[in-house]
Amino acid sequence: MTLQRSVMREQIKELVIQRILEGTYKPGDRVVELQLVQELGVSQAPVREALRDLEAMRLIETEPYRGARVREVTPEELTESYPVRAALEELAGQLASTLATEETFTLLEAEMQNMHDAAEANDQHGLLVHDARFHEVIVEAAGNSVLLDSWGGLRIEAFTLVSVIKSQLDLGAIAQTHQPIVDALRQRDADLTGKVMRDHIEHFGSTLFGGTTHV
Amino acid sequence: MTLQRSVMREQIKELVIQRILEGTYKPGDRVVELQLVQELGVSQAPVREALRDLEAMRLIETEPYRGARVREVTPEELTESYPVRAALEELAGQLASTLATEETFTLLEAEMQNMHDAAEANDQHGLLVHDARFHEVIVEAAGNSVLLDSWGGLRIEAFTLVSVIKSQLDLGAIAQTHQPIVDALRQRDADLTGKVMRDHIEHFGSTLFGGTTHV
DNA sequence: TCCTAAGCGATTATCGATAATCTAGAGCGA
DNA sequence: TCGCTCTAGATTATCGATAATCGCTTAGGA
């Protein structure tokens, strides 16, 4: 942890994000300012500013004079996020179908390969990371920065990782379901691509909850 | 400025937001920390934290050691936001059509009245505020907090206010176009409501750019 | 015993000062 | 004159310390 490319606040932010995603900080855990201050040997100011950022990113919650804690991602919230994802990614698919370049397809196929590799190795974490990246590539290809921000605001990786990490999924099957998306994109058919994206998300959403019925 | 209901940071944030929306701080203007410090008689820390929040809200942009300035809302960005709004509000309409209560309708009709009043008084600012609130009521009625957050993240009021303030619109006509939405909701027809919402947004978007063709 | 309230330890919020960095402009050499 | 370096002023980033607040404990009284 000797990097110092940017301002301290950014480094602290990255560190805490990493710990949340890795599970070092678990949902509900408190994030105490002075603890980080001591551990990192910095002052309180940059820590506080980093926490403000993380609050805006919805990774933590804070209450005045009561501190910050890692946000609980409730099953309700995860459930609710899928219709929103579906709506946004349907739009992304429509837009991307006319804007996708060869580079887009190269990226998508690379991520598909990565997903298959991860499935092979039974690496759930890796699969989900590459899955998220696959979708991100499409949203980027849609060429709409507002859409990209909105989608990014859903924190797909974080939510999915945190919540699914325990369930048993058929990783190979998940990797496989991305092929139709690429096919539709290649056909340059906006409506079809949109529909395929929507179905894909909704299917993944229900699979997820099929696999983790309990709370 | 003697209020002090909550923590200072929140008050400072509110103040700056108000100034941006009012136009006291115009897009591109610098927001200097020490200036606010002097003016408000507070220390730099809460000002900086407020600015971090505003940055996350995308009302300002900051660069390390170069300070904050009010974000330019480019015409491109406004253009891009409409498809996203349309997608989100289509979903909101679908969900709200089954969940809307009598209270929802009461609120919607009140806002419609407010819009008509504002149109009568040729009060563009007022019309847009109530327009935004009308849509917000529907998104709230959809009962999906993730959707509500995503929609809120678009900062409809801010963007619209900042950008449209100069153009000449037929206020009465705008107020009028909200009736079909309420009608569709009352019919409890999800697909219809979704479609009406989408058309409404897309129509408003193109009207806007019809009226403000120039940059 | 039960209730109340004052006190204490822990933590956050704010302060005032210092260090780091940027920007514009003066001075200087070619 | 032009271009470059360097310095001064302005501004942001960070620091170390203090004030405010919270939750819990516990002493005291009925």
Q: d(Cα B89, Cα A14) in Å, to the nearest integer?
A: 33
Residue type for position A176: Q
What CATH number corresponds to the domain at position A135?
Answer: 1.20.120.530
pLDDT band with cut points at 50, 70 and 90 for residue A51 = very high
pLDDT at B198 over 90: yes
Last residue of a domain, one of A70, A86, A115: A70
Indicate yes or no: CB of A49 within 8 angstroms of CB of B49: yes
pLDDT of amino acid A7: 82
Say yes or no: B80 and B29 in one domain. no
Q: Is residue A1 part of a domain?
A: no
What is the tens place of the pLDDT at every residue in A136-150? 999 999 999 999 999
- Calculate what percentage of chain B has a pLDDT beyond 70: 88
Mean pLDDT across B98-117:
96
User: Which domain range does residue A37 map to?
Assistant: 8-70
pLDDT at A159 over 80: no
pLDDT of amino acid B2: 34
Say yes or no: A89 and A159 in one domain. yes
Say yes or no: B52 and B83 in one domain. no
What is the tens place of the pLDDT at every residue in B2-28? 334 468 999 999 999 989 888 899 889
Say yes or no: B90 and B105 in one domain. yes
Q: Is residue A101 part of a domain?
A: yes
pLDDT of amino acid A89: 97
Q: Is residue B2 part of a domain?
A: no
Mean pLDDT across A76-84:
89
**C-alpha distances in Å from residue A108, one per residue of A23, A130, A155, B128:** 28, 10, 20, 41
Mean pLDDT score of chain A: 88
Mean pLDDT score of chain B: 88
CA dihedral over B65, B69, B75, B80, signed as positive or negative: positive
Chain A residues in contact with B154 by the CB 8 A cut-off are 146, 150
Mean pLDDT across A187-215:
80
pLDDT at B79 over 60: yes
Q: Is residue B188 part of a domain?
A: yes
> How deeply is B210 buried, as exposed, middle or buried, from its count of CB atoms within 10 A (0-12, 13-18, 19+)?
exposed
- Residues whose CB falls within 8 Å of the CB of residue B182, separated by 6 or more in sequence, listed in order: B105, B108, B109, B112
Count how many domains chain B has.
2
Residue A24 CA to nucleotide D6 C1', Å?
A: 49
Say yes or no: A96 and A197 in one domain. yes
pLDDT of amino acid B212: 45
Q: Is residue B1 part of a domain?
A: no
pLDDT of amino acid A148: 96
Last residue of a domain, one of A45, A70, A95: A70
What CATH number corresponds to the domain at position B15?
Answer: 1.10.10.10
| Cβ atoms of B138 and B197 closer than 8 Å | yes
pLDDT at B213 over 90: no
Nearest CA in chain A to B85: A147
Cβ of B135 near strand C (under 7 Å)? The reply is: no
| Cβ atoms of A74 and A57 closer than 8 Å | no
Assigned token pair, B164: 């449209």
Query: Alpha-carbon dihedral of residues B80, B84, B85, B89, nearest 10 degrees?
Result: 160
Chain B residues in contact with A12 by the CB 8 A cut-off are none
Smallest CA–C1' distance to D15, residue = A43
Q: Is residue A2 part of a domain?
A: no
What is the tens place of the pLDDT at every residue in A100-118? 999 999 999 999 999 999 9
Bridge pairing between strands B60-63 and B67-70: antiparallel
Last residue of a domain, one of B70, B91, B109: B70
Say yes or no: B115 and B188 in one domain. yes
Say yes or no: A36 and A99 in one domain. no
pLDDT at B64 over 70: yes
| Cβ atoms of A157 and A132 closer than 8 Å | yes
Q: d(Cα B145, Cα B4) in Å, to the nearest integer?
A: 29
What is the tens place of the pLDDT at every residue in A15-48? 999 998 888 999 899 999 999 999 999 999 999 9
Say yes or no: A12 and A115 in one domain. no
Closest-lying nucleotide for B12 based on CA to C1': C14
Say yes or no: B109 and B201 in one domain. yes
Say yes or no: B190 and B93 in one domain. yes
pLDDT of amino acid A194: 95
Say yes or no: A62 and A85 in one domain. no
What is the SS3 assignment for A25?
Answer: coil
What is the tens place of the pLDDT at every residue in B162-179? 555 556 678 888 899 999
Q: Is residue A162 part of a domain?
A: yes
Chain A residues contacting B via beta carbons under 8 Å: 6-7, 45, 48-49, 52-53, 56-58, 64, 77, 80-81, 83-84, 87-88, 90-91, 95, 144-147, 149-150, 153-154
Cβ of A67 near strand C (under 7 Å)? The reply is: yes
Say yes or no: A17 and A115 in one domain. no
pLDDT band with cut points at 50, 70 and 90 for residue A161 = low
